[in-house]
Amino acid sequence: MAVPLFDTRTPLAPLREALAAKAVEVLDAGNYILGPEVAAFERELAGYLGAPAALGVANGTDALVLALRAMGVGPADDVVVPSFTFYASAEAIALIGANPVFCDIDPVTYCVTPDTVRAALTPQTKVVMAVHLFGNIAPVAEIEALGVPVLEDAAQAAGSRTADGRHAGALGSAATFSFFPSKNLGAFGDGGAIATADEALAETVAMLRFHGSRDKVTFELVGHNSRLDELQAALLRLELPLLDAWCDGRRAAAAHYAEAGLAELARLPEPIDGCDPAWHLYVIRHERADELAAALTATGIGCKAYYRVPLHRQAAMRPWSEVELPGTDEAARTHLAIPMSPVLTREQAAAVVAAVRDADLG
């Protein structure tokens, strides 16, 4: 049985007619930038997260750039960031002239720990960027207890909850989301958001996304043109009420893998501190990950090594590459994403596990 790495279309099928009708409504309304749909989506997203404010922006990368700037990060400041994450996490820091200071992760959870962050702090550290990688939830409160504000990169963690029921994205000083189509909450193009409880920070983000202006005629900051499109916001509003059910589907998929005996064949990702991750990607570890990938691919099972070269070893990050990160190196060498989606069935999970077993790689 062939199983795709992810499935963005099947979960959307029940919404097809509503999405089409909404798209026509927005086209007819003729209000395409920062209109009522964006305002409503921002209210609804904030309500869902339990965060006082959410602001839509053009994508998850811009969300990081604007949030960092609104948190006061500028040239020559240090921002602690994991090396085992998508490139945008560190790129956003370098883009505003600050220094990404790479810290290690725990390869069992793929996230930073208070100890790995502590080891990377410098007198110039302005912010710690805690990435909730693959849907796991980095320990934000413990990191803030070190005395530095935390920016949550929650691009991969929409719908993940802590053990006490709080949402990823409502834990730190600010948080960012990506609505890239394959994300847990995916748009039909690019989109992103910033959530925060800090009113002044929200006000600065609102200015930064519109050229540093409050009123569109006077300009207080050198800003950006970074808005969530009205059309994307309108469609995301229809999806948001389904997000929890989709996340439950992701959790069920992880349970199917466990029931089928995957833990006997590979190391499984572990939730941090009893949290309930909405696994965006389901990423196992295996000593012979590339051979396993070749065997799975040959049987039609989708799989991918997302971060085989961690960020501190990427060419563009050379100025900040002088660090030893053993947990990162181990995760980079051994990780492999296997199929995950809200609609992954027990039979599909069993087929994936059978293919891992048949690969017979020990």
Ligand X SMILES: Cc1ncc(COP(=O)(O)O)c(C=O)c1O
What are the residues binding ligand X (CB under 6 A)? 59-61, 85-86, 88-89, 131, 153, 155-156, 178, 180, 190, 192
Cα dihedral: 137, 141, 145, 151 (round 10): 60
Q: Answer left, alpha or beta for residue 132, where phi above 0 means left and psi between -120 and 50 means alpha.
A: beta
Closer residue to ligand X, CB minimum distance, 107 or 192: 192
CB of 132 to ligand X, least distance (A): 8
Closer residue to ligand X, CB minimum distance, 89 or 232: 89
242-270 as b/e: b if 16+ CB within 10 A: bbeebbebbbebbebbeebebeebbbebe
| 336: enclosing H helix or E strand | strand 335-338
In a 10 Å sphere around its CB, with 0-12 CB exposed, 13-18 middle and 19+ buried, how is residue 147 labelled? exposed
Closer residue to ligand X, CB minimum distance, 110 or 246: 110
Residue nearest to ligand X (CB): 60
Q: What is the DSSP string of 68-100?
A: HHHTT--TT-EEEEESSS-HHHHHHHHHTT-EE
Closer residue to ligand X, CB minimum distance, 80 or 351: 80
Within a 10 A sphere around the Cβ of 356, how many other Cβ atoms? Answer: 27
Closer residue to ligand X, CB minimum distance, 61 or 99: 61
Closer residue to ligand X, CB minimum distance, 172 or 356: 172
Closer residue to ligand X, CB minimum distance, 158 or 289: 158
CB of 361 to ligand X, least distance (A): 28
CB of 6 to ligand X, least distance (A): 13
CB of 39 to ligand X, least distance (A): 21
CB of 346 to ligand X, least distance (A): 28
CA distance 171 to 137: 10
CB of 167 to ligand X, least distance (A): 16
CA distance 100 to 123: 14
CB of 143 to ligand X, least distance (A): 16
In a 10 Å sphere around its CB, with 0-12 CB exposed, 13-18 middle and 19+ buried, how is residue 2 labelled? exposed
